[in-house]
């Protein structure tokens, strides 16, 4: 799949599905969004990451027109957030959404399709969302995971140009989660722009063309997953050794050390320097593995720095 991030064009020169300028939202003395500037080009899977309270859901609600900004502005598909033109081009699956308990999934889709002049085919959406086995079961009798899949189907019925997925795989088992991932990739390949929030860092790494990290209502990183991992720098060393975590912290370049079972895990600034010192200290090191930081480790490091700066 070729995305906006795969070209040599400046993303800010590409058409935007979301354009936020100096967007702030306050609730009394609490600042949920703090002067956010964000340009999301068409054709991307853009993932919003952040700890609870970072501002992810507030940003989505502002983009959907459900919350007015305190200051600044946000446009969706070139139109003011919440306008009819923006709504007709947008599909939404919110984390706290629920549907009529008395209707079946098929009836839910028929109801929502009536709101659009050119909706998607109901049977095709049922197949795409893989809800055929319970499409004619009343919503109130479905499991939590099944309800999430019906909500995903409803978000597709208007053939959206832009799809908001707020924690879409919460409550799903591994197979169902990966089925949603496959659906998201197919939608993106067909040209649908997708804004995703998730607590699963593996999900963000697997799907996102671009990751925006929010902390305390501000954007602290905006790049590809690989570039965000690179910002953390260094390497992760895992090995079997007699050296304790306390002794490892004295080795050059070691930022953190922890033992999990028989393996010692080191986070270090420069792998060759640390490795030489490690092998000098324990020539019997075994099961040695050196890797780059994961997205989760990079996210944790970014969030920790932001917390320290605010304190």
Q: Which two tokens stand for residue 244?
A: 């304790």
Mean pLDDT of 275-302: 87
C-alpha distances (whole Å) from 275 to each of 53, 173, 256, 268, 297 are: 39, 39, 14, 10, 20
What DSSP element (H or E) covers 211?
Answer: strand 210-215
Starting at the edge strand that comes first in sequence, how are the strands of the sheet with 254-260 ordered?
A: 254-260, 263-268, 235-240, 286-291
Q: Per residue in 232-273, pLDDT tens?
A: 778 889 999 999 999 999 999 998 889 988 899 998 888 999
| Contact indicator for 175, 183 with CB cutoff of 8 Å | no
User: What confidence score (pLDDT) does residue 306 get?
Assistant: 53
User: What confidence score (pLDDT) does residue 56 get?
Assistant: 92
Tracing tokens 């200290």 back to the chain, one arrives at: 281
User: What confidence score (pLDDT) does residue 13 get?
Assistant: 60
User: What confidence score (pLDDT) does residue 6 get?
Assistant: 46
**Residue 141: pLDDT over 60:** yes
The model carries a pTM of 0.78
Q: Give the helix ranges, DSSP H, for the chain.
A: 56-63, 84-88, 105-113, 122-128, 144-156, 174-189, 201-207, 225-232, 245-248, 271-281, 295-310
Q: Per residue in 174-230, pLDDT tens?
A: 888 888 899 999 999 999 999 999 888 888 888 999 999 999 999 998 988 888 877
Q: Per residue in 37-77, pLDDT tens?
A: 999 989 899 999 988 889 999 999 999 999 999 999 999 99
The 10 Å CB-count burial string (b at 16+, else e) for 278-302 is beeebeebeeeeeeebbbebbbebb
């Amino acid at each position: 799949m070729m995305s906006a991030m795969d070209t040599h064009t400046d993303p800010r020169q590409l058409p935007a599905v979301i354009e936020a300028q100096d967007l702030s939202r306050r609730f009394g003395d609490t600042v949920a969004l703090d002067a956010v500037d964000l340009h999301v080009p068409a054709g991307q899977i853009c993932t919003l990451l952040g700890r609870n309270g970072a501002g992810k859901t507030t940003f989505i609600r502002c983009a959907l027109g459900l919350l007015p900004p305190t200051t600044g502005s946000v446009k969706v598909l070139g139109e003011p957030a919440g306008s009819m033109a923006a709504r007709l081009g947008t599909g939404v699956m919110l984390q706290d959404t629920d549907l009529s308990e008395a209707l079946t999934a098929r009836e839910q889709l028929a109801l929502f399709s009536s709101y659009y002049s050119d909706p998607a085919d109901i049977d095709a959406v049922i197949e795409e969302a893989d809800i055929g086995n319970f499409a004619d079961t009343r919503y109130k009798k479905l499991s939590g995971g099944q309800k999430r899949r019906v909500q995903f189907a409803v978000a597709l019925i208007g053939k959206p140009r832009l799809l908001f997925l707020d924690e879409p795989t919460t409550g799903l088992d591994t197979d169902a989660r990966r089925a949603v991932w496959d659906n998201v990739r197919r939608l993106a390949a067909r040209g649908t722009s997708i804004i995703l929030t998730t607590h699963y860092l593996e999900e963000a790494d697997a799907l996102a063309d671009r990751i925006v990290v929010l902390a305390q209502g501000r954007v602290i990183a905006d790049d590809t997953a690989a570039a965000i991992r690179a910002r953390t720098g260094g390497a992760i060393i895992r090995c079997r050794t007699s050296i304790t975590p306390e002794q490892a912290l004295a080795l050059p370049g070691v930022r953190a050390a922890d033992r999990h079972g028989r393996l010692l895990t080191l986070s270090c600034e420069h792998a060759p320097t640390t490795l030489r010192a490690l092998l000098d200290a324990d020539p019997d090191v075994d099961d040695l593995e050196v890797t780059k930081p994961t997205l989760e480790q990079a996210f944790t490091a970014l969030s920790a720095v932001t917390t320290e700066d605010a304190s």
